[in-house]
Amino acid sequence: MYPADYLYSKDHEWAKVDGDVCQIGITQFAQEELGEVVFVELPEVGDTFEAHDEIGTIESVKAVAEVYTPVGGEIVAINEAAADDPTIVNQDPHAAGWLVKIRLSDPAQLDELMSADAYEQFAGGGS
């Protein structure tokens, strides 16, 4: 279920690394826990964040979830499609439902993230 070439955080975000740019979204587990997403708030291109900063929020009918970036850097792209039609975060959280792309300030931060296998165990054990 969890792409093997992604990295995962304990806050239930995934990161897909491509050179010094990292695409970030929420995991299948996170979208299931949230339920139907009705609003997605994203940062602006050019904003900079430290690792573990809140970069946005996702609201479902019942809950608000903060989105934390697992890595620090500058936002280079945001997924406007997810902001316009938040249901894609439920339908395809690992691909079309991505949230932001961030230019890594410190690639060493990636070492703190989990592999797909480790995350699956982490999310499975937490439910």
Which of residues 19 and 125 has its CB atom nearest to other proteins in the complex? 125
In the bound state with other proteins, the residue whose beta carbon lies nearer, of 36 and 50, is 36
CB of 33 to other proteins, least distance (A): 8
Q: How far is the CB of 59 from other proteins (least distance, A)?
A: 5
80: burial class by Cβ within 10 Å (0-12, 13-18, 19+)?
exposed
Binding site for other proteins (CB under 8 A): 35-36, 38-39, 41, 57, 59, 61-62, 64, 127
In this structure, are residues 56 and 42 in contact, taking their beta carbons and an 8 Å threshold? yes
Would you put residue 73 in left (φ > 0), alpha (ψ -120 to 50) or beta? left
Nearer to other proteins (CB atom), residue 36 or residue 112: 36
The smaller minimum CB distance to other proteins, of residues 23 and 31, is found at 31
**Kind of pairing, strands 37-41 and 48-49?**
unpaired
- To other proteins, the closest distance from the beta carbon of 38 in angstroms equals 4
Q: Is 8 helix (H, G, I), strand (E, B) or coil?
A: strand
